[in-house]
Structure 1
């Protein structure tokens, strides 16, 4: 009993030791799991922060890229506005009116399929003559003659039936062929009818194009003739064509009107440009990271004022240059030009015209100037022009300030 008691005690102690060891292992596993969970949480947090940082960096990069685009667009606009005069110096502004002559080019006929006849149907062939087959041989000796007679009768009966069917088919053949031809004829008639309609429509469109071209060419001939005689209408129309070819940005439209006086051979031109509000007053754009905003940095009043004044002076000289260069016939001896803008009068609320430049110059005097190396404002002063002291501020020219150059 004592031995058994000791064995039981030993087994109990061993079990307790095993239980304690298991508890320790479980505790160790739990701690390991907690460490793993903590590591996982830390790793997840790090990944989240990494992703958040990457997203933030990408957003900043996108904002900076947008800033670059805005600044590139702004630079492009400023370069265009600052080079309005230079842009025309490499262009021959003469318009050869013969280049405006209309040569009619007709499109191809839209339904060529209607010109192809519908294929004729395959003719219905004659039915083959029936063939009388030989009766089957009777091999049995019993009742042979009777069976041979029956076989022969069956052959004759079948032949007669085949013959009557053939005869009926032959008799029906003309009607079938006529019906086939009739259907083909109907299809062809529909095709020809549709072809007639489409041809008439096409020829009418061609005739209209020919008529319109003839009218335009006749008007062109009258313009060329009138220009040869120096008539006011022809000269004004030609100048309108020349100035219509003067390309300005869509966002800075410039319009012109011209009046020619044959008695003095002088052309009066009025140029209308957009107001100061159409020209950006921004120096550049920048991204403010603290507020996550793209904001414009305003240019100085001096830069804005000088830029708009430069535009005014450039457009005035450009117009004089284009018109004089285009007049190879020497139809006008001089040009009087007025350039301004339209705005709303704050006192009346109505549209009002404000002149910025008034200049009159003769051809010879103007053609002495090399426009590729001038300061436009000084050139206008050299020509005796009256110019606004502050076009940006919508200050008009002083009345009576023009001197004939």
Structure 2
């Protein structure tokens, strides 16, 4: 529990440092990609159905003639009895032979019927396999079409960006901002528009209300009560962390946009960092501005952000800053973002 808290606070406290560790430029050409096809996986349809085994037939009956009487047995009517025994044996053999022949015919017919069923099932499998292959080929073809369309759109996007089409510049900024991942405990949203005539990007960044941030300093086990007790952060610690996060978000946003815009399409940024909330007085939605600042590319690019104190940098840029972001005291934006510092 405490390790998770430490990790969360480190993420919030390193909002600016985190972005300085990465290059925010997006190479749009790398977003082009060929179609990726999964392997054809028809499952059981790919396996031929095993044919039924040939019937294991009993051996045909073998005629065994009764032995002829020997010695005195043959002299006293034995030959006649032997002849009778032969007739009986032959009759039994013929009967057994006919039964065996019927048995063979029946088993062979059963096997033939099983083979017919197998042939029908195999034909059905092959037909389904062929349809699955057709489906797979159609899906592959569609993936190829979709990939080509996406790549053509990217080519158009890259060309539009090169020729300063405002919507393309705005879309590129959106891609850059979508790559800017904030901590779960400090979610951030963006809104922006670009004016080609002034080459200025107007940006609004929405940070969470202070109440969203965790307030627990640590958890400790109280043996006497056999329970885990939370120790709260001091009010000052909460205020300092939130204020720093707001100020770092402002500088982080400016840095990400200017760094990602290698071609220099954007020459200045007018930035407002605020909180969306329900106004206590009216019950209506409102945005409370906490930072309002304008920065030019040439000026901002000279800063060494790794060593700055964010609030001082914003003041240096002539920004309007809330005197108490934690209590959502609005910044004095009456003079407008471009009038600050004059």
**What's the TM-score once normalised by structure 1's chain length?**
0.72
SS in 2 for 1:142: helix
Separation (CA, whole Å) in 1 of partners of 2:209 and 2:146: 39
CA distance change for structure 1 residues 83 and 124 in 2, over 3 Å: closer, same or farther? closer
Separation (CA, whole Å) in 1 of partners of 2:26 and 2:69: 108
1:134 equivalent in alignment to 2:69: no
- Superposed, which structure 2 residues align to 1:251-266 within 5 Å? 251-266=185-200
**What's the TM-score once normalised by structure 2's chain length?**
0.84
Separation (CA, whole Å) in 2 of partners of 1:73 and 1:172: 76
Segments of structure 2 that go 5 or more residues without pairing to the other structure are none
Separation (CA, whole Å) in 1 of partners of 2:50 and 2:4: 63
Partner in structure 1 of residue 171 of structure 2: 237
- Superposed, which structure 2 residues align to 1:333-348 within 5 Å? 333-348=267-282
Give the superposition deviation at 1:198: 4.0
CA deviation profile, 1:49-84 (whole Å, cap 9, x unmatched): xxxxxxxxxxxxxxxxxxxx44x5444333322221
Give the superposition deviation at 1:92: 1.0
CA distance change for structure 1 residues 145 and 284 in 2, over 3 Å: closer, same or farther? closer
Alignment coverage as a number of residue pairs? 335
| Higher share of residues assigned helix | 1
The match for 1:104 among 30, 35, 60 is: 35
Give the superposition deviation at 1:161: 2.9
Instruction: Provide the aligned C-alpha RMSD in A.
Output: 3.2
- Superposed, which structure 2 residues align to 1:2-401 within 5 Å? 69-70=1-2, 72-123=3-54, 131-139=62-70, 140=73, 141-165=75-99, 168=102, 175-176=109-110, 178-203=112-137, 205-280=139-214, 294=229, 296-301=231-236, 303-398=237-332, 399-400=334-335
CA distance change for structure 1 residues 394 and 131 in 2, over 3 Å: closer, same or farther? closer
Given that residues 286 and 297 in structure 1 are in contact (C-alpha distance below 8 angstroms), is that contact kept between their aligned partners in structure 2? no
Q: Judge which range, 345-354 or 72-81, deviates more.
A: 72-81
Q: Which has the higher contact order (CA 8 A, sep 6+)?
A: 2
Q: Judge which range, 111-120 or 249-258, deviates more.
A: 111-120
Give the superposition deviation at 1:95: 1.4
Segments of structure 1 that go 5 or more residues without pairing to the other structure are 1-68
SS in 2 for 1:325: helix
CA distance change for structure 1 residues 176 and 231 in 2, over 3 Å: closer, same or farther? same
Given that residues 359 and 384 in structure 1 are in contact (C-alpha distance below 8 angstroms), is that contact kept between their aligned partners in structure 2? yes
Given that residues 133 and 155 in structure 1 are in contact (C-alpha distance below 8 angstroms), is that contact kept between their aligned partners in structure 2? yes
Given that residues 341 and 354 in structure 1 are in contact (C-alpha distance below 8 angstroms), is that contact kept between their aligned partners in structure 2? yes
